[in-house]
């Protein structure tokens, strides 16, 4: 991703998180991958001045404590967080999830491929898109 800044993965499923880490390695993406298990943990991470500001957030929707839609609503309403691009990476094909994700500011919505090689290709596509995208400079901390 952009300038080797970190990527934040918000994913409650341990296997899916390990798969994402492996896909980053197999796709030769050098950006550090940080991981939070739900929306509450992700907000705490993002608001911690000691943690690196991610260049992009990969967000699952179906999580305990605070799901992805709730996270989007809060993060995109926060002046300090709203400019961080969020890509929903989920198994949900529900139209209401797609509509709500974009309504609350998601930059993209990608269905998690079941096939591992397709998952790696999806990660490569996300990486390429954000490498080519111009992003606003973060407000507050770097």
* Burial zone of 90 (CB within 10 Å; 0-12 exposed, 13-18 middle, 19+ buried): buried
Residue 34 and residue 52 in contact, taking contact as beta carbons nearer than 8 Å? yes
* pLDDT, the chain, mean: 90
More confident residue, 138 or 41: 41
- The pLDDT of residue 142 is 47
pLDDT at residue 117 is higher than 50:
yes
Residue 112 phi/psi, 5° resolution?
A: -65, 120
In a domain, 53, yes or no: yes
Range of the domain at 10: 2-116
In a domain, 132, yes or no: no
pTM of the model as a whole? 0.90
The arithmetic mean of pLDDT across residues 68-96, rounded, is: 95
In a domain, 36, yes or no: yes
In a domain, 38, yes or no: yes
pLDDT at residue 44 is higher than 90:
yes
* Interatomic CA distance for residues 123 and 57, integer angstroms: 12
In a domain, 139, yes or no: no
Number of domains in the chain: 1
- The pLDDT of residue 130 is 77
In a domain, 43, yes or no: yes
- The pLDDT of residue 1 is 46
In a domain, 141, yes or no: no
pLDDT at residue 140 is higher than 60:
no
The arithmetic mean of pLDDT across residues 120-128, rounded, is: 90
* Burial zone of 108 (CB within 10 Å; 0-12 exposed, 13-18 middle, 19+ buried): middle
- Domain CATH for 26: 3.40.50.2300
* Interatomic CA distance for residues 45 and 55, integer angstroms: 14
- The pLDDT of residue 134 is 66
- The pLDDT of residue 42 is 98
In a domain, 129, yes or no: no
The arithmetic mean of pLDDT across residues 19-47, rounded, is: 95
Quick one: tokens of 21? 């880490």
Residue 58 and residue 20 in contact, taking contact as beta carbons nearer than 8 Å? yes
- The pLDDT of residue 84 is 92
């Amino acid at each position: 991703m952009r300038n080797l800044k970190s990527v934040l993965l918000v994913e409650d499923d341990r296997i899916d998180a390990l798969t994402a880490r492996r896909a980053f390695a197999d796709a030769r993406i050098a950006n550090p991958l940080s991981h939070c298990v739900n929306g509450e943990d992700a907000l705490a991470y993002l608001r911690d001045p000691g943690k690196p500001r991610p260049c992009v957030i990969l967000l699952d929707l179906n999580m305990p404590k605070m799901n992805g839609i709730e996270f989007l609503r809060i993060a995109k309403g926060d002046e300090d967080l709203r400019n961080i691009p969020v890509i929903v990476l989920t198994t949900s094909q529900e139209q209401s999830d797609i509509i709500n994700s974009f309504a609350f500011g998601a930059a993209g919505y990608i269905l998690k491929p079941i096939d591992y090689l397709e998952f790696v290709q999806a990660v490569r596509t996300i990486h390429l898109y954000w490498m080519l995208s111009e992003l606003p400079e973060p407000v507050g901390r770097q």
